[in-house]
Amino acid sequence: MLPNMFTPVRVRFAPSPTGPIHLGGIRTALYNYLFAKKNGGRFILRMEDTDQKRYIRNAESHILESLKWCGIVPDEGIGFGGPFSPYYQSKRGYIYRFYLNQLLQNGYAYYAFDLDQDLDQKRTDFQKHGIFFSYNYKTRMNFNNSLTMTKKKLAIKLKDQNPYVVRFKMNPGEQLKIHDIIRGNIEMNTNYLDDKILLKSNGTATYHLANTIDDHLMKITHVIRGEEWISSMFFHILLYRSFGWNPPYFAHLPLILKKNGKGKMSKRNYEETIDPIFPIKWMDPNTKKMIPGYRELGYLPESFINMLALLGWNPGGNQEIFSLKELEQSFSLEKIQKSGVLFNMKKMVWFNRRYLNRNKEKVFTFLCKELKKRSIFHRYKKNYLYRVIDLTIDRIHFIHEIWDHSFYFFIDPYYYDQQYLLYNHEKYQYFLHQLEKLHNLLFSVTPFTLDNLKIVFQDKVDKNMWKIYMKLMRLSLVGVFKGVDIMIILEMIGKKQSMNRIKKLINEINTKTI
Ligand code: GLU
């Protein structure tokens, strides 16, 4: 029997600290979080840290900091406490032993004393005959386990502290039919399942045992996780049944595929991926190499989350921009697609641009910092800075690009397009002459408003001269051939500044003619 509709929704994100968290992991956390919020449920964070061999230092802090940056805040679990503490599996060994004993006593599990070399030997023998070796219902009676020895011998072996593992005794011949919320009904015959290890020889529970016990004890109603766990689902269902427990609902998320569509993105192949895959920076503990994440590359967490939410889920309709609150309201597991999703970096950049427009205050804060760094912050009013942002925001993809696109509103050009000057070196005298005329023209504009500037240029400048005037003016004001409308720059920086910059270019050209 599955949890009924009146059971409060409880979901969990259960990462293993075996490496940095990548965008697939964050998406799993996000979908769990959104599902909990949508259904007024609780989102639990549990650390599945039983695999000491694959444990990687800093992985846990990378996971926690990444979730925090994304705004995915657990209701319960690591860092938040809760009624089912501890939330670290490494601290729950005694619980797993207690429940494992039940399985042993009821004949659902057995001790296996086989040595690694014996199993390796068997594997090679099978391979020689072209058969895939599996420790299962067909082979188990040929091994050194509690099913093939007397109770007395078993007692002696245990007393003598012979190393052992505990295996699940898989009953063959049953056609399992399981419903996955995303994939529908899936079937599997237990003949294809092996006698999985539940307790390792070092005395720790395996993922399967710990995961199912914890999901039951923590009253998890829906298991939402990556597609790679789908084959484990059958075994987990059998474990629940052996304990006499109701299983939760299952929803297995589609894979996120690499750009070439081949293979999934994983935390182990980050070395070969060019597109960033970590939410925040990660320092490889072995090589000490620092790999920047979306945060360091200038992405806003809001845009990262929005992009991830739509990586496999779509509520229908044309809306693409969703705040976290909007996502919380519209999320549903039924609208998640089955097939793998292609990660599109261009779309990610597009989202970031859209979010910059919605987060001008963040751009403002960045711009203020740049001005303070140059000790010129005090010269500008808030309105002026927001006007600059409004004028340039469509030209940037990331916050840190704002200075390069707006410096000329604050400081004189620090560089002149040398290539242009060099190419036109024969026209220097002509340029100097026209710049003097421009200088005088600007002097004549009073008040120095956008309308007046337009009128003066229209009335006093010969149409044939427009092009060269604009070029010389852009060179004077910006230094290079980029930036917003010249007339707007003139008005913004004012008469004195504009005239000074023309004089500065005159000096620059003069030094070249000497
Ligand atoms: N610890 C598993 C992982 O690292 C969790 C799988 C699950 O959610 O059941 O992905």
Strand partners, 313: 336
d(CA 222, ligand 1 centre) in Å: 13
pLDDT higher than 80, residue 465 = yes
Q: How many angstroms separate the CA atoms of 451 and 438, rounded?
A: 17
Residue with CA nearest ligand 1 atom 2 = 15
What residue has token string 């930036």?
A: 483
pLDDT higher than 90, residue 192 = yes
- Note the pLDDT tens digit of each residue in 233-264: 999 999 999 999 999 999 999 999 876 555 66
d(CA 225, ligand 1 centre) in Å: 7
Q: What is the SS3 assignment for 119?
A: helix
Pocket-forming residues, ligand 1, beta carbon under 6 Å: 14-16, 48, 211, 225, 229
Domain residue spans of the chain = 1-84+254-358, 412-513
Residue with CA nearest ligand 1 atom 10 = 15
Question: What pLDDT is stored for residue 6 in this prediction?
Answer: 67
Greater pLDDT, 268 or 121: 121
Pocket test for ligand 1, best of 43, 225, 250 (most atoms within 8 A of CB): 225
pLDDT higher than 90, residue 271 = no
Greater pLDDT, 502 or 343: 502
pLDDT higher than 70, residue 373 = yes
From its phi and psi, is residue 266 left (phi > 0), alpha (psi between -120 and 50) or beta?
Answer: beta
- Note the pLDDT tens digit of each residue in 287-302: 899 999 999 999 999 9
Q: How many angstroms separate the CA atoms of 145 and 168, rounded?
A: 12
d(CA 132, ligand 1 centre) in Å: 27
Which positions ≥6 away from 51 have C-beta within 8 Å? 16, 18, 207
Structure tokens at 56: 């990687």
Greatest pairwise CA separation for the chain in angstroms: 112
- Note the pLDDT tens digit of each residue in 15-28: 999 999 999 999 99
CB 422 within 8 A of CB 513: no
Q: How many angstroms separate the CA atoms of 251 and 253, rounded?
A: 6
Q: What is the SS3 assignment for 502?
A: helix
d(CA 46, ligand 1 centre) in Å: 10
| Averaged pLDDT, 444-467 | 94
Question: What pLDDT is stored for residue 368 in this prediction?
Answer: 97
pLDDT higher than 80, residue 5 = no
Question: What pLDDT is stored for residue 255 in this prediction?
Answer: 94
d(CA 48, ligand 1 centre) in Å: 7
Pocket test for ligand 1, best of 13, 48, 222 (most atoms within 8 A of CB): 48
% the chain with pLDDT above 70:
96
d(CA 312, ligand 1 centre) in Å: 19
Residue with CA nearest ligand 1 atom 3 = 15
Q: How many angstroms separate the CA atoms of 309 and 304, rounded?
A: 9
Structure tokens at 417: 């397009």
Confidence of residue 130 (pLDDT cuts 50, 70, 90): very high
d(CA 495, ligand 1 centre) in Å: 64
User: What CATH number is given for 412-513 in this structure?
Assistant: 1.10.10
Confidence of residue 57 (pLDDT cuts 50, 70, 90): confident
pLDDT higher than 70, residue 215 = yes
Task: Write the DSSP symbol of residue 251.
Answer: E
CATH architecture of structural domain 1-84+254-358: 3-Layer(aba) Sandwich (3.40)
Q: What is the SS3 assignment for 223?
A: strand
Specify the pairing of strand 282-283 against strand 290-291: antiparallel
Q: At what angle do helices 450-460 and 428-443 cross, to 10 degrees?
A: 130
Domains 1-84+254-358 and 412-513 share a fold: no
d(CA 40, ligand 1 centre) in Å: 23
Structure tokens at 343: 């990660």
| Averaged pLDDT, 341-345 | 91
Question: What pLDDT is stored for residue 27 in this prediction?
Answer: 98
Question: What pLDDT is stored for residue 275 in this prediction?
Answer: 82
Question: What pLDDT is stored for residue 513 in this prediction?
Answer: 72
Question: What pLDDT is stored for residue 7 in this prediction?
Answer: 80
Tell me the residue type at 368.
Answer: C
Confidence of residue 306 (pLDDT cuts 50, 70, 90): very high
On average, the pLDDT of the chain sits at 94
Nearest ligand 1 atom to the CA of 25 is: 10
Pocket test for ligand 1, best of 47, 211, 237, 253 (most atoms within 8 A of CB): 211
Structure tokens at 157: 């072996």
- CA-closest candidate to residue 237, choices 252, 225, 248: 248
- Note the pLDDT tens digit of each residue in 416-455: 999 999 999 999 999 999 999 999 999 999 999 999 999 9
From its phi and psi, is residue 107 left (phi > 0), alpha (psi between -120 and 50) or beta?
Answer: left
Pocket test for ligand 1, best of 229, 252, 255 (most atoms within 8 A of CB): 229
Question: What pLDDT is stored for residue 259 in this prediction?
Answer: 67
Q: What is the DSSP annotation of 447-494?
A: S--HHHHHHHHHHHS-GGGHHHHHHHHHHHHTSSS-SS-HHHHHHHHH
% the chain with pLDDT above 90:
89
| Averaged pLDDT, 385-399 | 96
| Averaged pLDDT, 320-340 | 95
d(CA 305, ligand 1 centre) in Å: 21
